[in-house]
Amino acid sequence: MGKQSVTDIASETDPGERATPEAPIPGPVRRFGPVLLGLSAIVPPLMMLREVLRYPQMHFYDYWWVLLDLTDDDGSLRPEALFGFRNEHPFVLPSLLFWLSARFGHGLNQPLGLVIIAFGVASVLLVWAMLPKSLNPWQRAGLVAAAATLVFNPHGIHNYVRSMSGASWILALMLVLAALLAMQREHRVLAIVFGLLASISYGTSFAVWPALALVAWLRGDRRRWVATPLVVGFLVVASWLVLRGPQGGGGASPTDDPAQALLAGLSMLGMVWTGTEPSIALIAGVAGLAVLVLHVRQTREEFRSAAPWWGLAVYAAGCAVMISGSRAAFGEAAGLQSRYNSMTAALWIAVLVIVVAWPRWPKVRTVAVAGTVLATVALGAPMAQSVRSDAPNQNLLAIAARIGHPDAFEDRFPEPDRLLPRLQALGHYPFSGEFTLGCPDGLEIGDRVSTADWRTPSDGALREPRPDGRDVVLNVETDQIQGGARMLKGWAISGIERADCVAVLDQTGTVIGGGVVDIPRSDAEAQTPGIEIGLGFEAVAPAQPGPVRVAFHFPDGWWIRPLTESPQVKS
């Protein structure tokens, strides 16, 4: 076989396609091109790293339920709880990660997110290790870059920035890929071990067992090694059925409508090909499966080489079947959840490898890989933005928990009477040294400050004309009691500057609460032409009697205004 002369990721063309001579590749491109293309695979994890480091340190909803199950009132571990279930899923390894984060990592979201990124990187490396040796350097580099893009796709941002989610989904993907690689390389016992570890990470990993059996069968292994994964998988599922906790946990019951189930499962497989439209995702999912069917005519040797990729596709399809059966009743967009990205990534990685390594249409291979990378990243923008936009709520929850009044956040912070003492005993965020209001001068909850030199806008309109004719506006439009918390919402501006910190003080000058700023408020920005977005704020303080003031820090210093002593009470 002669030297390659094209940069296309195709290694060969059909005889009928060779009539037109191809221009030779310059030496530097031939030598360094594949390396540079392969190095581009580091861009997606680096972009996701930026997202993780920007996201709040406060963990998300499911983490708190698991922590309640794992710990006693004093924060000590209940070892037997590691072997419990979460919404019927076996959850041993994620529970262990949660405990290690709580006990030794101050319960911070970002460090656990870094661990999940490491799992994602390991998944890409496992894909690289499984690639057929027949591929040329361009093909290998292109597929590794595509795999990195799919694993770290913006559609799956939930798994990384809300690290409690990736602790199950991305960990499970990594272990499934490790099992398939081990089976490919005839380390069959090791494959079973990785399959078991995946099965105690999340219930959808049960799909690894038929995938391993298929790999063994396509490779021509002895019947006992084809049967062993099926037998082990049967025992795993049977044990789960016997040991799992009460059914339910989280919403409506599974649907009995086959059409609804098909919509959920197929749209999950195609979710990376749309922003928010289930119908487009469904068409994409069907298209991906159709491409696999069109490539199913392979020789015995091709099937042997392609076995792990067919196994990966079966794993993804199995996950879709399980999700469609359990989540379809949650609505037509049930299959577009950000956390499902790891499974749709598994399908499309398998599709791309099969299309490139065993092509039916050689000329479209480069387009297929490049198009998948570009389109899925761009289409993931709406999902990523929806997750980012929730970050202020997480920061506000951290402040509410720190002051002991997370009453307004029951949908994301369960059973505070039980949970808060555990967090305090563990030194868990937000009761760790990493907690901060983010004020430039270091103002924190509990500090007592003199406000003598802080400026106060005029009473009534609360506007203070500046010498240059610009105004200060400290607008508190919502002042409401919810349980033991006082919730504030509004917008603030000084001249053309937005606030960079908000704090709530009592009559003695003690900081009793705080909040988040830089929240987009299109209505306020319409009243202040020429101002950047982000004038909004939200704050929380204890619902205590006596005068309370809210203060804002701007580049020109602190401004402060009083609050009414008769806030609205939410019924």
Helix axes 163-184, 341-357, angle to 10 degrees: 30
Residue 400, in any domain of the structure: no
Number of domains observed in the structure of the chain: 2
Neighbouring C-beta atoms of residue 563, cutoff 10 Å: 16
**CA-based torsion, 425, 429, 431, 433: positive or negative:** positive
pLDDT confidence of residue 470: 56
pLDDT confidence of residue 7: 44
pLDDT confidence of residue 104: 92
pLDDT confidence of residue 24: 60
Residues 387 and 492 in one domain: no
Residue 19, in any domain of the structure: no
pLDDT confidence of residue 458: 66
Assigned token pair, 299: 């020789």
pLDDT confidence of residue 497: 85
Query: Which residue type is seen at 423?
Result: L
Residues 69 and 199 in one domain: yes
pLDDT confidence of residue 459: 52
**SS3 of residue 14 by DSSP:** coil
Residues 159 and 295 in one domain: yes
Query: Which residue type is seen at 264?
Result: A
Residue 139, in any domain of the structure: yes
Q: Any bridge partners for residue 196, and if so which?
A: none
pLDDT confidence of residue 13: 41
Task: Give the domain CATH number at 531.
Answer: 2.60.40.10
Residues 379 and 517 in one domain: no
Residue 111, in any domain of the structure: yes
Question: What is the extent of the structural domain holding 490?
Answer: 437-563
Parts of the chain with a pLDDT under 50: 1-8, 10-21, 248-252, 460-462, 464, 468-469
Residues 444 and 353 in one domain: no
Assigned token pair, 349: 């990685």
pLDDT confidence of residue 10: 44
Residue 412, in any domain of the structure: no
Residue 250, in any domain of the structure: no
Dihedral pair phi/psi, residue 66, rounded to 5°: -65, -40
Residues 382 and 517 in one domain: no
The DSSP secondary-structure symbol of 448 reads B
**CA-based torsion, 2, 8, 14, 20: positive or negative:** negative
